[in-house]
Chains A and B, each alone.
Chain A
Amino acid sequence: MEYDLKTIDLEITAIEDSATRLKKIGTGIETIERNADAILAFVYLLKKNISDIIE
């Protein structure tokens, strides 16, 4: 079986967009801002581990 890396990358981008939007609409609520930042830190890793590989 093979992985569909393009679809995985699309999902990573979708999480990034969603976490960025969440952070924006939750500005001023510490728990939203900090947890959205944490999600974005892990998105950064997924991009370095997967998205960067796609030619």
Chain B
Amino acid sequence: MEGVRGRSIYWNPIIETLPRERLIQIELKRFRELLRWAKENSPFYRRKLRGIDPQDIESLEDVARVPMTEKDELRAAQEEKEPFLYGELLAVPYESLSAFHQTSGTTGKPVYIPDTYESWQWLVEVWCYLLYAAGFRRSDRVFLPFNYNVYIAFWQGHYASEKIGCEVVPGGALDTRGRIQKMREVQATALMNTPTYGLHMFEVSREMGIDPKRDLSLKKMVCAGEPMPEPTRLRLEEEWGVDVYDHIGGTESGAWAGMCCEKRGMHVMEPHFILEMVDLETMSKPVSPGTRGVVVLTPLCRRCVPLIRFNLKDIMTVMEGPCSCGRTSLRVDQVSGRVDDLRKIRGVFFSPHVVEEVIRREFAEVAEFETVLTQEGATPVLTLRLELDPSIAESRAKNVSSRLRERLKVKTNLTFELEMAKPGELPRYTLKSARFKDLTKK
């Protein structure tokens, strides 16, 4: 097979434009290799995959017959199991480990995930694919406004920017004002952010009298850490005057999809991953492109902690048709909810994600919000707490809240109680936001 030489919009022009059939062949070969590796080296998978012969995997249908891995199983395989910290998930000698990260613990006890130098470089390499697709180049000066702590995303972003050849400016030790000043001082051209913190930084820059479009040199922003509905992405683009790219990843899987310059969905990093979408009700039946499903993912090259058919619990849709950027990988739209957040209220499925979509798309007057689910007797009550932009007059505030209540009724088939909060009363988030509180689960 021959590749085409020339200045490229791709990090790897050979792999990113392979025909789909070839991508699937490579993924199946890697899946067999990973199964074999996991069975030989991971006590957890040796037990779980008993009776499964890697050689029998010849198609994606065969892949779907392998049991899924749930996050609770990962926790159970670590707790009080040897070797300390990683337990039965570890599939390499302990002394070969060189990096430690952990999940955020949003849905329970954190899971500890180690990497070897090799697996860490693979994670960074995948990030290079997605940053390159978002236009990061050697000429960029990238600002990272976070302490990376034990969370994986921005460490990968840091090292991948460096590998691409960008200059990396870590701004973790500064406060928000200091970070904005530093971006101006060094004329940063690219920014990594969480969507929530991006909105907050914009608010603060306005208080400082700084207009990012006029006073900063930023051209692009890549977001990580939490789902970003399209209206939020568009709002960030409008406020900052930059191209904003979404990507998706996790500690257990690494980054696995990202937006290209077309900004229409996120390309799955094939053939580094196998993506499957299963039906929400049965959690096993595959769904076709264009239909919402739950993501099941296999990272194919991270040998130290193999992960086979991991149930991510993210609700997404595989997009139909090819992308005009020329990449042949599957594309997914942005996360439209989490299985964990999905609630059946008065017979209707409710995803808190819809509230954010409506607010970001249609209500720029809303500075911050929080959805709270409570129970009054047998009746569930949804309350939306709102913080409006301080410049909004009281008379207009009433109009905003009644319009918002109507729009939410249309979008969700549910009635919301609305409560006004004082400016600055609702929490602001830097990393993962928690704008949905279910108080019925005490």
List residues of chain A with CB under 8 Å of any chain B CB: 1-5, 37-38, 40-42, 44-45, 48-50, 52-55
Q: A48-B272, A49-B15, A53-B15 are in contact. Are A1 and B121 (CB under 8 A)?
A: no
Residues of B within 8 A of A41 (CB): 116-118, 121
Q: A5-B1, A53-B18, A53-B26 are in contact. Are A48 and B122 (CB under 8 A)?
A: yes
Number of A-B pairs whose CB atoms are under 8 Å? Answer: 55
Query: Roughly how many angstroms separate A53 CA and B23 CA in the complex, as a whole number?
Result: 9
Q: A44-B122, A53-B15, A53-B18 are in contact. Are A3 and B272 (CB under 8 A)?
A: no
- Among A2, A50, A53, A55, chain B packs the most CB atoms within 10 A around the CB of A53
Given pairs A3-B2, A53-B15, 6 additional interface contacts (CB within 8 A): A1-B6, A5-B2, A41-B118, A48-B301, A52-B29, A53-B22
Q: List 26 A-B contacts (CB under 8 A).
A: A1-B4, A2-B2, A2-B5, A3-B4, A3-B14, A5-B1, A5-B14, A37-B117, A38-B117, A40-B118, A41-B118, A41-B121, A42-B121, A44-B122, A48-B125, A49-B14, A49-B125, A50-B14, A52-B26, A52-B30, A52-B271, A53-B1, A53-B15, A53-B22, A54-B1, A55-B1
Shortest beta-carbon distance, B99 to chain A, in Å? 12
Question: Which of the residues B5, B22, B121 comes within 8 Å of A45, measured between beta carbons?
Answer: B121
Q: Which residue of B lies closest to A52 (CB)?
A: B26
Residues of B within 8 A of A5 (CB): 1-3, 14
Query: Roughly how many angstroms separate A50 CA and B411 CA in the complex, as a whole number?
Result: 47
Residues of B within 8 A of A44 (CB): 118, 121-122, 301
Query: Roughly how many angstroms separate A54 CA and B26 CA in the complex, as a whole number?
Result: 10
Residues of B within 8 A of A53 (CB): 1, 14-15, 18, 22, 26
Query: Roughly how many angstroms separate A34 CA and B325 CA in the complex, as a whole number?
Result: 40
Query: Roughly how many angstroms separate A2 CA and B14 CA in the complex, as a whole number?
Result: 11
Residues of B within 8 A of A2 (CB): 2-5
B415 at the interface (CB under 8 A from A): no
Query: Roughly how many angstroms separate A35 CA and B116 CA in the complex, as a whole number?
Result: 14
B413 at the interface (CB under 8 A from A): no
List residues of chain B with CB under 8 Å of any chain A CB: 1-6, 12, 14-15, 18, 22, 26, 29-30, 116-118, 121-122, 125, 271-272, 301
Q: Which residue of B lies closest to A55 (CB)?
A: B1
Residues of A within 8 A of B118 (CB): 40-41, 44
Query: Roughly how many angstroms separate A15 CA and B22 CA in the complex, as a whole number?
Result: 26
Shortest beta-carbon distance, A49 to chain B, in Å? 5
Residues of A within 8 A of B272 (CB): 48
Shortest beta-carbon distance, B129 to chain A, in Å? 9
Query: Roughly how many angstroms separate A40 CA and B2 CA in the complex, as a whole number?
Result: 25
8 closest cross-chain pairs (CB), A and B: A3-B3, A1-B5, A41-B118, A2-B2, A41-B121, A41-B117, A45-B125, A44-B118
Residues of A within 8 A of B30 (CB): 52
Q: Which residue of A lies closest to B124 (CB)?
A: A45
Query: Roughly how many angstroms separate A49 CA and B29 CA in the complex, as a whole number?
Result: 14
Shortest beta-carbon distance, A41 to chain B, in Å? 4
Residues of B within 8 A of A1 (CB): 4-6
- Among A4, A41, A42, A55, chain B packs the most CB atoms within 10 A around the CB of A41
Q: Which residue of B lies closest to A6 (CB)?
A: B1
Shortest beta-carbon distance, B300 to chain A, in Å? 8
Query: Roughly how many angstroms separate A22 CA and B121 CA in the complex, as a whole number?
Result: 21
Residues of B within 8 A of A38 (CB): 117
Residues of A within 8 A of B12 (CB): 49
Q: Which residue of B lies closest to A48 (CB)?
A: B301
Shortest beta-carbon distance, A3 to chain B, in Å? 4
Query: Roughly how many angstroms separate A48 CA and B14 CA in the complex, as a whole number?
Result: 12
Residues of A within 8 A of B5 (CB): 1-3
Query: Roughly how many angstroms separate A52 CA and B18 CA in the complex, as a whole number?
Result: 12
Residues of A within 8 A of B3 (CB): 2-3, 5
Query: Roughly how many angstroms separate A32 CA and B285 CA in the complex, as a whole number?
Result: 51
Residues of A within 8 A of B6 (CB): 1
Residues of A within 8 A of B22 (CB): 53, 55
Query: Roughly how many angstroms separate A48 CA and B23 CA in the complex, as a whole number?
Result: 12
Q: Which residue of A lies closest to B119 (CB)?
A: A41
Shortest beta-carbon distance, B75 to chain A, in Å? 29
Residues of B within 8 A of A50 (CB): 14-15
